[in-house]
Amino acid sequence: MPHFVIDCSREVLDLHDEETVIACVLAAAQDSGLFALDDIKVRVNPYATYTVGGKREAFLHVFASIMQGRSIAQRAGLSRRIVTGLATLFPRVRNIAVNVAEFEQATYCNRAML
């Protein structure tokens, strides 16, 4: 944890490859000071078929899932940091967004916890 899943239109990857996009989100997450680098997970889901507002427009949307316990200001700052980084990388892509969802520590489990 945390997990950052980047949904994007396939054509944005013609501008920058997946590794560059991942590095951008990873840097923003790390620079937030909220997470240890070894804990951050980032992945990309490119889509060839999609619509944005009834049109075919390039997009990036980051779904962040983080452990509960951060303030609203910290979560909002994380969102802004990621959008700022992606907007710098993709200045012509108008549809860039992030949402941060918290999950409960009490119900979280991974293999290392078994």
Q: What is the pLDDT of residues 79-99, one digit of tens each?
A: 999 999 999 999 999 999 999
Mean model confidence pLDDT for the chain: 96
**Secondary element (H or E) of residue 40:** none
Task: Give the CATH number, domain containing residue 68.
Answer: 3.30.429.10
Residue 38: strand, helix, or coil? helix
Domain coverage including residue 41: 3-113
Angstrom distance (rounded) from CA 32 to CA 29:
5
Inform me whether the pLDDT recorded for 31 exceeds 90: yes
According to DSSP, the β-strands at 3-9 and 59-67 are antiparallel
**Average pLDDT rounded to a whole number, residues 51-66:** 97
Q: What is the pTM of this model?
A: 0.94
Provide the residue type at 24 as one letter: C
Average pLDDT over residues 32-57: 97
Instruction: Tell me the average pLDDT across 35-43.
Output: 97
Per-residue pLDDT at 78:
98
Count of domains for the chain: 1
Write down how long the chain is. Answer: 114
